[in-house]
Amino acid sequence: MNSKIIGTGSYIPKQSILNSSFLDHSFLDNHGNPILSKNDEIIDKFQSITGIKERKYVSNTRTSSDIAFEASKIAINTSFIDAEKIDYIILAHNVGDVTNESNQVDAMPSLASRVKSKLGIKNPNCVAYDILFGCPGWLEGVIQAHAFIKAKMAKKCLVIGSETLSRVIDSSDRDGMIFADGAGAVVIEASSGDDGVLSHETVTYSNNGEADYIYYGKSNNLKSDNTKFIKMQGRRVYEFALSKVPGAMKKCFDKSGHSIKNLKKIFIHQANQKMDDAIIKRFYKLYDLKAPLNILPMNIEEFGNSSTATIPTLLDLVIKKKYNGHEINRGDIILFASVGAGMNINAVTYQY
């Protein structure tokens, strides 16, 4: 028994926020001091490192469970299944249903339960729960769905990654320009074929300060109230990812039994273009190879970093629209990988 993706869906917010939108911000360092560089210089440097030119924000009336529902509807429709037959709804996020009026985290009831309600699923045996695993949350949801199917506890699972990180951005923090909104979903079904999930790997590093690399903390503006925002130690995240992610990817891929020369695409969490490119180069260096051209689909330039939603939205775009010239053909071997708060890393080898 194996598991495979039979339908995908995504919700991409229509509101595009260009880098120029941040020119009037008052950027402060972690000690609350003004950053001396001019804003256009800060933004140019930011773009050269991250690759981000714009990002998508949800409208004022939308929440994370709203856009998760929209992506899920599409995934269910493209899989041609009866939603009442779904055994598990697994929804990955970081900050819940933050509204436009307040940045207070709201995850009770679970966003997965809210999506189940919005979908109108009446079957009580459809179990809905959230997963908090940082940016790798959606991929860990795929691994959990695979485990349920392998254990014959499920036949069909809906796995969603959804974020509205624009609601928890500190306007005085340069790193806030990275984050974005979006939702992606897949339907995973039991399969008797050889395709689908081939191998997976998950690790957590938290004993040497890594747990604090990405966190929820106070504003850089020391005069503000106790409201908390998404924060990260960018340099430490970058160094951690380069040192740990390639090895986890290799361990996962080697367990698949396939030759590295058969790998067609790598869908990596869209965190930072420079970082992602460096990870891929180091991954192939472990095989004494150079990274092939066109191995890495990227949408961070246009969509920013929407955390748990980056991989499923990109997968949906590539499958349905051949985004930026990328496509996946039947039988292709692909690798998913992600890194994020925790610090968590995971990877999945998959045959399409």
Asked if residue 220 has pLDDT above 90, the reply is: no
Domain boundary residue, one of 157, 192, 227: 192
232 and 135 together in one domain:
no
Query: How does pLDDT run across 269-283, given as a tens digit for each residue?
Result: 999 999 999 999 999
In which domain, by residue range, is 254 found?
197-351
The pLDDT-based confidence of 313 (bands split at 50, 70, 90) is very high
Query: How does pLDDT run across 177-189, given as a tens digit for each residue?
Result: 999 999 999 999 9
Q: Are 269 and 133 in contact (CB under 8 A)?
A: no
182 and 249 together in one domain:
no
28 and 174 together in one domain:
yes
212 and 135 together in one domain:
no
Structure tokens at 19: 């880098």
172 and 274 together in one domain:
no
Pairing verdict, β 88-92 and 156-164: parallel
Domain boundary residue, one of 173, 192, 211: 192
206 and 92 together in one domain:
no
Asked if residue 192 has pLDDT above 90, the reply is: no
Q: How far apart are the C-alpha atoms of 214 and 310, rounded to whole Å? A: 17
182 and 315 together in one domain:
no
Query: How does pLDDT run across 10-28, given as a tens digit for each residue?
Result: 999 999 999 999 998 988 8
Question: The domain that contains 205 carries what CATH number?
Answer: 3.40.47.10
137 and 220 together in one domain:
no
Q: Which of 279, 297, 292 is nearest to 338 (CA)?
A: 279
* DSSP state for residue 43 in the 8-state scheme: H
228 and 187 together in one domain:
no
Counting the structural domains of the chain, the total is 2
Domain boundary residue, one of 163, 192, 221: 192
Q: How far is CA 237 from CA 7, 275, 309, 322, in A?
A: 33, 10, 19, 31
219 and 243 together in one domain:
yes
202 and 122 together in one domain:
no
149 and 101 together in one domain:
yes
